[in-house]
């Protein structure tokens, strides 16, 4: 059984005290760390004491923008149970797409059939995006800390761009200048149409 927040916090306090800071990681040695260490330096935040979990958007399906379609996500592909959407505007990485269930449920709530279908679509989508020219790799992420409705992120990163790698590629997504809109839309269209050769239908 994993540790509780209290148990983890107790170990932190035992190590560095209630207001103490954990040791600074060697960011100056991290090739992919996207911030420069300057005079003021960087340091870890103080670990805060355990508290209640924040309520998520669309908790229990109430006011869920994914269910109502009132959010800013743009639908580009769907089948009976799944939909593929993209943010309203391009960002620094070549493509950022969301694969979401149509039903309101959380990731651990998938039954075996839905999970199997998720697995297939996820791999198709990752492969299709990875095969786009100049895409180095596609990072597949499920966090679920913001919205309760099942959604998985697919981040395509540019190949041969030193440092824009791994989890830090997500930081670069917000720092690099946005991809030209016509290029971005053409790539989204290509992915949706290619995915439709496996299942579902493209809407662009
Ligand atoms: Zn929902």
- Joined together, the tokens standing for residue 65 give 């923008």
Residue 122 CA, ligand 1 centroid: distance in Å: 19
Residue 109 CA, ligand 1 centroid: distance in Å: 13
Residue 84 CA, ligand 1 centroid: distance in Å: 14
Dist. CA 99–CA 29, nearest whole Å: 35
Question: 154 and 138 in contact (C-beta within 8 Å)?
Answer: yes
Q: What is the pLDDT of residue 175?
A: 86
Better-scored residue on pLDDT, 151 or 160: 151
Residue 166 CA, ligand 1 centroid: distance in Å: 29
Q: What is the pLDDT of residue 118?
A: 98
Using DSSP bridges, classify how beta strands 82-86 and 74-78 pair: parallel, antiparallel or unpaired: antiparallel
Residue 103 CA, ligand 1 centroid: distance in Å: 7
User: How many percent of the chain have pLDDT more than 90?
Assistant: 75
In sequence order, the β-bridge partners of residue 24 are none
User: Mean of the pLDDT values across residues 111-116?
Assistant: 98
Q: What is the pLDDT of residue 187?
A: 96
User: Mean of the pLDDT values across residues 35-52?
Assistant: 85
User: Mean of the pLDDT values across residues 172-201?
Assistant: 94
Residue 20 scores a pLDDT above 80:
yes
In sequence order, the β-bridge partners of residue 98 are 85, 153
Q: What is the pLDDT of residue 78?
A: 98
Residue 58 CA, ligand 1 centroid: distance in Å: 6
Length of the chain: 204
Residue 61 CA, ligand 1 centroid: distance in Å: 5
Q: How many CB atoms lie within 10 A of CB 170?
A: 19
String of DSSP letters for 55-78: PPBTGGGTT-HHHHT-SS-EEEEE
- Average pLDDT for the chain: 93
Residue 108 CA, ligand 1 centroid: distance in Å: 14
Q: 200 in the Ramachandran plot: left (φ > 0), alpha (ψ -120 to 50) or beta?
A: left
Residue 30 CA, ligand 1 centroid: distance in Å: 39
- Joined together, the tokens standing for residue 61 give 């399906």
- Joined together, the tokens standing for residue 154 give 């697919």
């Amino acid at each position: 059984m994993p540790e509780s927040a209290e148990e983890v916090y107790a170990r932190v306090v035992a190590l560095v005290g209630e207001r103490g800071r954990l040791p600074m990681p060697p960011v100056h040695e991290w090739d992919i760390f996207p911030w420069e260490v300057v005079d003021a330096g960087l340091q870890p935040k103080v670990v805060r004491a355990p508290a209640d979990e924040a309520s998520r958007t669309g908790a229990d399906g109430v006011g869920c923008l994914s269910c109502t379609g009132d959010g800013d996500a743009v639908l580009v592909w769907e089948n009976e149970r799944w939909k593929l959407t993209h943010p309203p505007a391009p960002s620094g990485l070549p493509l950022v797409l969301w694969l979401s269930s149509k039903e309101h449920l959380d990731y651990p709530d998938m039954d075996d059939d839905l999970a199997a279908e998720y697995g297939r679509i996820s791999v198709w989508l990752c492969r299709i995006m990875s095969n786009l020219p100049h895409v180095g790799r596609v990072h597949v992420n499920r966090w679920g800390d913001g919205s309760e409705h099942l959604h998985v992120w697919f981040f395509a990163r540019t190949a041969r761009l030193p440092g824009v790698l791994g989890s830090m590629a997500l930081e670069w997504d917000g720092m690099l200048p946005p991809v030209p809109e016509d290029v971005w839309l053409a790539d989204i269209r290509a992915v949706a149409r290619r995915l439709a050769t496996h299942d579902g239908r493209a809407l662009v």
